[in-house]
Amino acid sequence: MLKAKIIVRYKEGVDDPEGKTIKHALNLLGFEDVEDVKVAKYYEIKLSKGDENEVEEIIRKLLVNPVIHDYEVRVERI
Amino acid sequence: MKVAILQMEGTNCEEESFIAFRDSGFEPEYVHINLLKPGDLEKYNVLFIPGGFSAGDYVRAGAIFAARLKAKIWKDLKNFVDEGKIVMGVCNGFQVLIELGLLPAVDGISDEPQAALMVNDSNKFECRWTYLRRENDTIFTSKVPEVITLPVAHAEGKFVAPNKILEKIEEQKQVVFRYVKPDGSKADYPWNPNGSMNDIAAITNPQGNVLGIMPHPERAFFWYQHPDWTRKKREKGDGSLIFKSLIKYS
């Protein structure tokens, strides 16, 4: 068994409207020192047989649009 | 002109689209992706990907629909486009065409996306009527006047692309519609509802047989669908002119 932990985030320089909205909300809640919020998506994927190559293929075929996204991946044997 | 209107879990504009094609003189048929097999596309002249929320818009809008199409019939799809047959995607359908790499395809069909339709600048679902200026002459717009109104309804419609790609899109005259103000001048929010680069609302591939458009022509097919129908006399809805252009081409 294999567990892949994948974080998909916007590339540097790509606008993050959700982050901006959350920053604004936090400022209104009194956290005036909040300067920036970035939002990312986190996936945990369990594979019964596959390897790192399959994880990369999953990321490339569905999880990421390389025009706007960077990703980080960590694979654990379980 | 036989039209395949693709369906999947979560598409929801297929009925209006079916009526729009039928009333414009096409022969539309519904085709569900689960029943789609290699070779099935051959009998159609037009492939239409309707709007909606395919697969719940999870991961990214259109990403799952695109990945499934790619897994099932990628070769057929590429042949369909290369043969010069028509592919048209509206709203969620546009997102699918971008994710597939069928648009903007500045140097031909690409296996990776070259652009993205990302979350609106407002971080909100934008549902409003927009003014669109026709930019370049295409088979989809020969009957379309310079400025028309069509409704948008999306949360992820901001067209972005790397500068090099964007320059090529402009250079190759691939922009079909830009969001404008009611007087036809350059748009800002809310006239550009999502923050699209260069106010892009619709593009084609360089050959001009694949169209992706964020606003919904099928939702402005009849004159009485326009909010100003009591003030402005129309015989048909503005969106119908796109279907009319296409049938004339065939």
pLDDT digits (tens, 9 = 90+) for B189-225: 999 999 999 999 999 999 999 999 999 999 999 999 9
Tokens of B109: 């069909």
Spatial distance between the Cα atoms of A6 and A4, rounded to a whole number of angstroms: 6
Provide the 10 A C-beta neighbour count for residue B224.
9
B63: three-class secondary structure by DSSP: helix
ipTM, two decimals: 0.89
Q: What is the pLDDT of residue B248?
A: 86
Chain A residues whose CB is inside 8 A of the B160 CB are 14, 67-68
Do the Cβ atoms of B49 and B6 come closer than 8 Å? yes
Average pLDDT, chain B: 97
**Residue A78 pLDDT:** 86
B132 bridge partner residues: B148, B179
Q: Which domain holds residue B91?
A: 2-249
Mean pLDDT, rounded, for B146-166: 97
Residues B9-35 have pLDDT tens digits of 999 999 999 999 999 999 999 999 999
* Number of domains present in the structure of chain B: 1
CATH code: domain of residue B93:
3.40.50.880
> Going by DSSP bridges, is the β-strand pair B156-160/B175-180 parallel, antiparallel, or unpaired?
unpaired
pLDDT at B249 over 90: no
CATH of the domain at A56: 3.30.1280.10
Among chain A, residues having any CB pair with chain B shorter than 8 Å are 14-15, 17-18, 20-21, 60-63, 65-68
What average pLDDT does range B121-130 have in this prediction? 96
Yes or no, beta carbons of A67 and B123 under 8 Å apart: no
Which 3 state secondary structure label does DSSP give A13?
coil
Task: Return the pLDDT at A33.
Answer: 97
Q: How many domains does chain A have?
A: 1
Which of B105, B53, B87 has the alpha carbon at shortest distance from B213? B87
Domain that holds residue A20: 2-77
Q: What is the pLDDT of residues B78-111, one digit of tens each?
A: 999 999 999 999 999 999 999 999 999 999 999 9
Signed CA dihedral, A25, A31, A36, A41: sign only? negative
B242: three-class secondary structure by DSSP: helix
Token look-up 């028509």 returns B86
Q: Binning pLDDT at 50, 70 and 90, where does residue A67 land?
A: very high
